[in-house]
Structure 1
Amino acid sequence: MKLQAIKQTIQINATAEKVWQILWDKDLYKKWAAAFMPGSHYKGDLKQDGKIQFLDPENNGMESTVESLTKNREITFHHLHELEAGKEGRKLGNMRETYRLDEQDGVTTLYLSSEMPEEYFNEMDTASKKALQIIKELAEE
């Protein structure tokens, strides 16, 4: 499986703490993750080595581990395998997704890096841009 990486950044007029809350509060996550698929949500523990399931309304998605986490600064997920109706599907190898926040004078730069199979790249690249814009709008409200 050939992987391609999305790399995007956005400047947000809010503290890193506020941006982090929008990223990972379960209700707020649903608002921006809808850019990928309406009804997207996650289950699990956002803690070092925690298991997370990123899911759509039909329980399709992927299961991941939290590879590294520094609250309000950075989180990296190692995507393990796809989920199909909640059951383990195709293995995802070394796919990783990282969110990094860098705050300077009350302005936070959010960096997103996400590896994925080549066939999903264009669709996910567009959805990621939309998601980052929603995160920005929620944080700046």
Structure 2
Amino acid sequence: MKKQTINQKIEIHASAEKVWQVMWNNDSYKKWAAAFMPGSHYVGDLKPGGRIQFLDPSNNGMESDVESVTKNQEVTFRHLFELEAGNAGKTLGDMREKFELVEKDDVTTLFVSSDMPEEYFEEMNTATTSALQIIKEMSEQ
């Protein structure tokens, strides 16, 4: 499976703690993740060694391991396989996604690096831009 990597960043006038909360609080996550698919949500433990399922309303999505997490700083997921109606589907191989927050002078820069199958790159790159803008707007309120 050929993969491509999205690399984006956005500057947010808020603390890293506030941005983190917007990103990973269940209610606010649903708002920015809607840029990828309305009704998106996650279930699982956001802790090192935890397992997360990123799902749409039909329980399609992907299952991932939490490789590392440092609250208010970074989280890295290793995407394992696609989910179809909650059941394991196609293996995703060596796909990783990392969110990193760097705070300086009351501005937090959010960096996103996300591997994905080549056929989803354009759509997901555009959705990532939208999601980052929503995170920015929510964090700056």
TM-score (norm 1): 1.00
Q: How does 1:69-108 map to 2 (within 5 A)?
A: 69-108=69-108
For each residue in 1:85-113, what CA deviation from the matched residue of structure 2 results, as whole angstroms up to 9, or x when unmatched? Answer: 00000000100000000000110000000
2:42 matched residue in structure 1: 42
Aligned residues: 141
Report the aligned-residue RMSD.
Answer: 0.3
CA distance in 2, matches of 1:47, 1:87: 23
Q: How far off its partner does 1:47 sit?
A: 0.4
Matched residue type, 2:128: S
Q: How does 1:3-14 map to 2 (within 5 A)?
A: 3-14=3-14
1:20 matched residue in structure 2: 20
CA distance in 2, matches of 1:27, 1:45: 15
Helix, strand or coil at the partner of 1:17:
helix
Name structure 1 gaps, 5 residues minimum. Answer: none
CA distance in 1, matches of 2:106, 2:88: 42
For each residue in 1:35-86, what CA deviation from the matched residue of structure 2 results, as whole angstroms up to 9, or x when unmatched? Answer: 0000000000000010000000000000001001111000000000000000
CA distance in 1, matches of 2:118, 2:82: 15
TM-score (norm 2): 1.00
Helix, strand or coil at the partner of 2:49:
coil
CA distance in 1, matches of 2:114, 2:22: 18
CA distance in 1, matches of 2:48, 2:119: 30
Q: How far off its partner does 1:12 sit?
A: 0.1
Matched residue type, 1:109: T
Helix, strand or coil at the partner of 1:92:
strand
CA distance in 2, matches of 1:94, 1:121: 16
Identity %: 68
Helix, strand or coil at the partner of 1:93:
strand
